[in-house]
Amino acid sequence: MGIVVQQIDRAPREAIASLGRFGVATIHEAQGRHGYLGPSLRPIFPGAHMAGSALTVSVPPCDNWMIHVAVEQCQDGDILVVAPTSPSDAGYFGELLATALDVRGVRGLVIDAGCRDVVELQAMGFPVWSRYISATGTVKETLGDVNLPVVCGAQTVHPGDVIVADDDGVVVVPRARAAAVAQASAEREQREAEIRSRYRDGELSLDRGGMRDRLADKGLRYVDRSES
Amino acid sequence: MGIVVQQIDRAPREAIASLGRFGVATIHEAQGRHGYLGPSLRPIFPGAHMAGSALTVSVPPCDNWMIHVAVEQCQDGDILVVAPTSPSDAGYFGELLATALDVRGVRGLVIDAGCRDVVELQAMGFPVWSRYISATGTVKETLGDVNLPVVCGAQTVHPGDVIVADDDGVVVVPRARAAAVAQASAEREQREAEIRSRYRDGELSLDRGGMRDRLADKGLRYVDRSES
Amino acid sequence: MGIVVQQIDRAPREAIASLGRFGVATIHEAQGRHGYLGPSLRPIFPGAHMAGSALTVSVPPCDNWMIHVAVEQCQDGDILVVAPTSPSDAGYFGELLATALDVRGVRGLVIDAGCRDVVELQAMGFPVWSRYISATGTVKETLGDVNLPVVCGAQTVHPGDVIVADDDGVVVVPRARAAAVAQASAEREQREAEIRSRYRDGELSLDRGGMRDRLADKGLRYVDRSES
Amino acid sequence: MGIVVQQIDRAPREAIASLGRFGVATIHEAQGRHGYLGPSLRPIFPGAHMAGSALTVSVPPCDNWMIHVAVEQCQDGDILVVAPTSPSDAGYFGELLATALDVRGVRGLVIDAGCRDVVELQAMGFPVWSRYISATGTVKETLGDVNLPVVCGAQTVHPGDVIVADDDGVVVVPRARAAAVAQASAEREQREAEIRSRYRDGELSLDRGGMRDRLADKGLRYVDRSES
Amino acid sequence: MGIVVQQIDRAPREAIASLGRFGVATIHEAQGRHGYLGPSLRPIFPGAHMAGSALTVSVPPCDNWMIHVAVEQCQDGDILVVAPTSPSDAGYFGELLATALDVRGVRGLVIDAGCRDVVELQAMGFPVWSRYISATGTVKETLGDVNLPVVCGAQTVHPGDVIVADDDGVVVVPRARAAAVAQASAEREQREAEIRSRYRDGELSLDRGGMRDRLADKGLRYVDRSES
Amino acid sequence: MGIVVQQIDRAPREAIASLGRFGVATIHEAQGRHGYLGPSLRPIFPGAHMAGSALTVSVPPCDNWMIHVAVEQCQDGDILVVAPTSPSDAGYFGELLATALDVRGVRGLVIDAGCRDVVELQAMGFPVWSRYISATGTVKETLGDVNLPVVCGAQTVHPGDVIVADDDGVVVVPRARAAAVAQASAEREQREAEIRSRYRDGELSLDRGGMRDRLADKGLRYVDRSES
């Protein structure tokens, strides 16, 4: 502990912009159902959507010192990803740190712990996905790391990975796969548009792709009430 | 497992319409405090209110195949009630399935697992009560059942029961009791309107129904600060 | 059990008004990080903010009788603080009791259990912070106490303490410390305004108060990618 | 609420005895993976194993009155299955009630709430599977039911169903299926003995039943380190 | 924070010895169902039973410095009661600290956080009741308090209160009430012995104290199967 | 998904043997408080202790097919580390799979999900650390991976890392650091032996290492009762 990596490879701007056009559920599917940070990381206010390059921070329980250290490493387009080394429901982050990040162009925060000042953060439009909303403050006593890999929401996040977040939660896309996943997301959205159109016409998914046959093979039985 | 019951007795339209005029808390009281699916099933967006006839689906963990099977069984006025056979926080349901249900007149979903695409579902006005919001996808590998009784939110739901849901959660009313519970709900609301009016005039509940006597019998003591 | 203390010392009006100008996170910091009721007590609708003098109630599980008893003890400016003697997710409180409290000038409710009628409570503007939203009703069978100290959200609340609540949660300030904490909150807000202004100019917290030296003393190392 | 059903059909003695020869996991498999009461109902001491006919009790939160009512209905070979109507961590059951049940030949208790006096219960050899161990006492104020179906551990239990419990938890077998499930359990155990023997000889499950082909069909790829 | 109170009034030796003859459930009942620290504080090994005078410690999350400070304040017959100021699952306590306490005659530990070295602690017979078993270590950076009141297991514990713990959990008895509660426990045990004896003779609780009448008044109905 | 890596670098035998001489808490400290899999992964029976080289498996929820695939890859001295791709409380593992692993010399299992057959596993002495004990069975329908990195207990485990587990839980040591951590563990144990000896002589930790000065610098105040 106690390491700040200063040069990291960030995800390319165009890859971030491409991925930012899609929702979290679409991207998660498009990369083979990997990288979702789980249902416990929730937006502190509804309707937010962000995409950016991960700048990772590990923090001791109830100690936000390393977030102050991380501010200096941030660039325009980054997203701070903060993971405590031991579970904590403290409020590591509030409006003042958001102000410091906002002037550097940081797009938002993902934290596997608590956040506070939610009224002020919503007013300034700084989006946060957190496990808790908590007024509990933190100390500045113990070191963590900046820009080493962290486990956040049970997923490994490397610095420079792409983070996308919306009301469904947060997904991480490895930097090297960002362009391919954006492409796959676009293709998936195209397919979904076709399905949506067919569903609107009343078509059943059962009637496509041999689904009725597969169900029958598995043993699905349709019964009248009398048999049940 | 692997059974689809095709003919079920649905709750009568008028009973559903009657019950749909009341809130979940009122109905729950009116049927003797039975049938509440508990505080863990929450609406994915605020302000929704629905009533309909339950179409039940049991699903394996992380497998939404049977929801696709259930679509075909749905009629106008139904509400899908989905229970996993083992706890799961996967996102079984999203905007595409909602589209397929919406064209058939389904009024909403209750699921003791996860839901995704909450932005899109709110935009299309398709209400969902779920235990999780989760982008995790599901597979189509294993059978469950359609229209057999399920345990959802620790309550047994039979196909054709009436489901009512609002911001307080979800309540199930057995089909055979729907009319009686609607009547009891109306009476309860009438009584509550009278109580509300009296409370607004400053009356105390303590001064009615012999409550002070019952409290004294139980041993309630009023003390001044000096004694406490 | 079974005691109602009738005379309590309430927090002075001016102290409540002073504290009511600040957010929960600010007050929590200003009193040395004490008195936060934790992240599990959440507002039932967003945007509410209240301050008042605590009127405490202990209730048995699933029994709200003592809340009816407490109504009579309430005065203008009070906040009801309700703690179950054993964990309960029942809905102890709804729109009728809120009406009775509202006409007496009660400002809101804090309850370490469940609340219902959230649509109606939002419509009438009666704010509640609770652990659960739950339609489960309660009985009136067993006594608790009014105006004895309670443990709510893992904090001890005495009658007459000041309660402040907003979207970050709930904080309790001991009556005797209310004026001092209000003063400390004002000073803290002043300091934060200065910091905010400096952060907006791009200043780093690292560059103030000898923080870089302290970090170096602890062993923080800045490395290039090549070394990491 | 407030109903005691006095005549119930109990599971036949031989079926109970047959099922009691098998472990919970075996029975659960043998009846098609139904009826497991989940991992949260744990034995209060290790090594217990029981089988019997369910006598069901629903209880209000923190109120064990109906267990006293149920004692009278118990017969030799019964197992008490207790479910609260709303979640409760109270200690509904202790050594005195166990004594009363023991003299009537009751084999043990399954309760989706709390139990206390674990030292004494272990000393007298009365087995209990519960969600909590809790010294919190209960009152005797409110009615529940005896011998109506209950939802316990998210499973519906009818009076007269067979209950089997061991260190893996609790399983319920519908009375009408008891003999068939006992037969299926015996067959399963026979098959497992063969598999065990083959595994001891070093045989791989992969080499039987066409498993390698199915895996290949699904796309499983074996790679050397260099490719990974 | 940062206060060590050096002179405290300890519970009298005889009161501790008297209370130590009873189980936690008995004492909890005997003092009117107050003071139980809840089902989440569990013994790290079965069969332990202790009674002593509370020496209270508040600790920051993941920081056990104040336990080292507290050792010096301990006397023969004390029990350490440790509460974190914010929830923490760290392992604050292990075999070395137990050794230091053991030589001073401390009887055991209650901690609303984590404990480690459970094999060693069991070997040396030093009993601990904790919320977690956790190998996570702690730091020595931030102050807490010694011998100020703490909230532990949602109960307020004052220094000098009597703590009793067994396999049912932990109960706190206020110092001033210790003798009276010991007396009430003895009476309760006497009554329970009589009840136990009657139960062993097959007597039903229903047949005493007018219970059948009270049940009938509440509306309990006994039905045959045919009516149910 | 669907990849089996066949050649992995295992931790050296001597490093495993060295680490296996220490407890989990000691190793966790010795490697700078990294690698603990948290308090939720518990041994299914007390007193077990194992050390080995990780063979990693990712599994879909409620699907243990890949454990069957993994058996073939196991060698003497391995420990299976299994992580579900989505949370699951199913019982993935029982006595038959343990038999298959046992004949290949596998030392035990770590699984961030459920295990069953605990009686049989204890009888055969095959140790398991799991999040749940659960009789729920699994299917064989969907692929996962063998010998890719997994996140288990919120820690990243690579194939070939050293796993050590005892009653305090599970710790992972990166393969490359195994020898160094074993050395550091030995040194730590040596230091602890000295401390233990001094504690037994009644020495206080406060009196060493300038701890009293550091506490005074932080502002610790010793007060008599009268001041507090």
CA distance F141 to chain E (A): 36
The percent of residues above 70 in pLDDT, for chain A, comes to 99
Neighbours of B158 (CB within 10 A): 18
Query: Residue C39 contacts by C-beta under 8 Å, 6 or more apart in sequence?
Result: A89, A114, A132, A133, A134, A136, C169
Spatial contact of B167 and B8, defined as CB atoms under 8 Å apart: no
User: Residue D228: is its pLDDT beyond 70?
Assistant: no
Query: Residue A86 contacts by C-beta under 8 Å, 6 or more apart in sequence?
Result: A60, A61, E61, E62, E88, E89, E90, E136
Span B8-15, average pLDDT: 94
Confidence of residue D5 (pLDDT cuts 50, 70, 90): very high
User: pLDDT value at position D26?
Assistant: 97
User: pLDDT value at position F226?
Assistant: 66
Chain F residues close to B61, C-beta within 8 Å: 61-62, 86, 88, 90
- Which chain A residue is nearest to residue E135, measuring alpha carbons? A86
Give the containing element (helix H, strand E) for F79: strand F78-84
User: Residue F47: is its pLDDT beyond 70?
Assistant: yes
Strand partners, F132: F114
Confidence of residue E227 (pLDDT cuts 50, 70, 90): low
Token pair for E200: 């062993």
Three-class SS state of C144: coil
Of A3, A9, A119, Cβ closest to residue C223: A3
Three-class SS state of F177: helix
Three-class SS state of B161: coil
Chain C residues close to D142, C-beta within 8 Å: 139, 141
Ranges of residues in chain C with a pLDDT under 50 are none
Of A25, A166, A220, Cβ closest to residue B4: A220
According to DSSP, the β-strands at C42-43 and C128-133 are: antiparallel
State residue A30 phi and psi, 5-degree precision: -65, -25
> Alpha carbon of E210 to those of A49, E57, E205, F114: distances in Å?
65, 48, 10, 48
Residue type, F159: P
Confidence of residue B226 (pLDDT cuts 50, 70, 90): low
Distance CA D178, CA D185 (A): 10
Distance CA B37, CA C224 (A): 55
Helices A178-200 and B95-102, axial angle in degrees (round to 10): 10
pLDDT digits (tens, 9 = 90+) for A30-74: 998 899 999 999 999 999 999 999 999 999 989 999 999 999 999
Span E122-138, average pLDDT: 96
Query: Residue C84 contacts by C-beta under 8 Å, 6 or more apart in sequence?
Result: C58, C59, C60, C61, C92, C112, C113
CA distance F144 to chain B (A): 13
Spatial contact of D122 and D128, defined as CB atoms under 8 Å apart: no
Three-class SS state of C158: coil
Chain E residues close to D71, C-beta within 8 Å: 204-206
Distance CA B116, CA B134 (A): 5
Is E219 close to D2, i.e. CB distance below 8 A?
yes
HSE-CB for E228 with a 13 A CA cutoff:
21
Token pair for D87: 């979640």
Strand partners, C152: C155
Is B133 close to A28, i.e. CB distance below 8 A?
no
Handedness of CA A172, A173, A176, A178 (dihedral sign): negative
Considering only CB atoms, which residues of chain C are within 8 Å of chain D?
60-62, 86-90, 136, 139, 141-142
HEC letters along chain A: CCEEECCCCCCCHHHHHHHCCCCHHHHHHHCCCCCECCCCCEECCCCCCEEEEEEEEEECCCECHHHHHHHCCCCCCEEEEEEECCCCCCEEECHHHHHHHHCCCCCEEEEEEEECCHHHHHHHCCCEEEEEECCCCCECCCCCEECCCEEECCEEECCCCEEEEECCEEEEECHHHHHHHHHHHHHHHHHHHHHHHHHHCCCCHHHCCCHHHHHHHHCCEEECHHHC
D neighbours by CB contacts (3+ pairs under 8 Å): B, C, E, F
pLDDT digits (tens, 9 = 90+) for A146-196: 999 999 999 999 999 999 999 999 999 999 999 999 999 999 999 999 999
User: pLDDT value at position C226?
Assistant: 66
Neighbours of D191 (CB within 10 A): 10
HSE-CB for E96 with a 13 A CA cutoff:
22
Span E175-186, average pLDDT: 96
CA distance C209 to chain B (A): 43
Span A204-221, average pLDDT: 95
Token pair for E136: 């996570």
HEC letters along B98-155: HHHHHCCCCCEEEEEEEECCHHHHHHHCCCEEEEEECCCCCECCCCCEECCCEEECCE
pLDDT digits (tens, 9 = 90+) for A89-98: 999 999 999 9
User: pLDDT value at position D227?
Assistant: 62
pLDDT digits (tens, 9 = 90+) for E140-165: 999 999 999 999 999 999 999 999 99
Confidence of residue A225 (pLDDT cuts 50, 70, 90): confident
Is C154 close to E154, i.e. CB distance below 8 A?
yes
Of B1, B32, B33, Cβ closest to residue D32: B1
E neighbours by CB contacts (3+ pairs under 8 Å): A, C, D, F
Give the containing element (helix H, strand E) for F17: helix F13-19
User: pLDDT value at position B227?
Assistant: 62
Nearest C-alpha neighbor of D81 from the set D134, D13, D144: D144
Of F2, F120, F134, Cβ closest to residue D169: F134
Spatial contact of A165 and A108, defined as CB atoms under 8 Å apart: yes
Spatial contact of A1 and E139, defined as CB atoms under 8 Å apart: no
According to DSSP, the β-strands at D108-115 and D78-84 are: parallel
Spatial contact of F27 and F173, defined as CB atoms under 8 Å apart: yes
Q: Is E190 left (phi over 0), alpha (psi -120 to 50) or beta?
A: alpha
Spatial contact of E54 and E161, defined as CB atoms under 8 Å apart: yes
Confidence of residue F13 (pLDDT cuts 50, 70, 90): very high
Neighbours of D192 (CB within 10 A): 17
Q: Where are the alpha helices (DSSP H) in chain D?
A: 13-19, 24-30, 65-71, 95-102, 118-124, 178-200, 211-218
Distance CA B162, CA C187 (A): 57
Confidence of residue D118 (pLDDT cuts 50, 70, 90): very high
Is B25 close to C117, i.e. CB distance below 8 A?
yes
Is F141 close to B139, i.e. CB distance below 8 A?
yes
DSSP state letter for C86: S
User: pLDDT value at position C86?
Assistant: 85
Nearest C-alpha neighbor of D181 from the set D6, D16, D66: D16
Considering only CB atoms, which residues of chain B are within 8 Å of chain F?
60-62, 86-90, 136, 139, 141-142
DSSP state letter for D142: S
Is B100 close to A204, i.e. CB distance below 8 A?
yes
User: Residue F37: is its pLDDT beyond 80?
Assistant: yes
Q: Is E95 left (phi over 0), alpha (psi -120 to 50) or beta?
A: alpha
User: Counting runs of H as helices and runs of E as strands, what totals does chain B give?
Assistant: 7, 13
User: pLDDT value at position A54?
Assistant: 98
Is B155 close to D156, i.e. CB distance below 8 A?
no
pLDDT digits (tens, 9 = 90+) for D69-105: 999 999 999 999 999 988 899 999 999 999 999 999 9
Is B206 close to C68, i.e. CB distance below 8 A?
yes
CA distance D205 to chain F (A): 7
Work out the burial of residue D131: count CB atoms within 10 Å of its CB; fewer than 13 is exposed, 13-18 middle, 19 or more buried.
buried
User: pLDDT value at position A209?
Assistant: 87
Considering only CB atoms, which residues of chain C are within 8 Å of chain B?
2-9, 45, 65, 68-69, 71-72, 89, 91, 94-96, 99-100, 103-104, 114, 116-120, 132-137, 140, 142-143, 147-148
Distance from the Cα of residue E15 to its chain's centroid: 16
Is C89 close to D89, i.e. CB distance below 8 A?
no
Spatial contact of E151 and C154, defined as CB atoms under 8 Å apart: yes
- Which chain C residue is nearest to residue E141, measuring alpha carbons? C218
User: Residue F227: is its pLDDT beyond 70?
Assistant: no
Residue type, D63: D
Confidence of residue D225 (pLDDT cuts 50, 70, 90): confident
Query: pTM (2 decimals)?
Result: 0.95
Distance CA F158, CA F146 (A): 11
Three-class SS state of C60: coil
User: pLDDT value at position F225?
Assistant: 79
ipTM: 0.95
CA distance E199 to chain D (A): 5
Chain B residues close to C130, C-beta within 8 Å: none
User: Residue F203: is its pLDDT beyond 90?
Assistant: yes
Indicate contact of D with A: 3+ CB pairs under 8 A: no
Query: Residue C115 contacts by C-beta under 8 Å, 6 or more apart in sequence?
Result: C44, C91, C92, C93, C94, C109, C121, C128, C130, C132, C133, C134
pLDDT digits (tens, 9 = 90+) for B207-224: 988 999 999 999 999 999
Three-class SS state of D154: coil
Span D109-135, average pLDDT: 97
User: Residue E73: is its pLDDT beyond 90?
Assistant: yes
pLDDT digits (tens, 9 = 90+) for B64-123: 999 999 999 999 999 999 999 888 999 999 999 999 999 999 999 999 999 999 999 999
Of F60, F89, F142, Cβ closest to residue B86: F89
- Which chain D residue is nearest to residue E212, measuring alpha carbons? D69
Spatial contact of C54 and C90, defined as CB atoms under 8 Å apart: no
User: pLDDT value at position B67?
Assistant: 98
Neighbours of E226 (CB within 10 A): 7
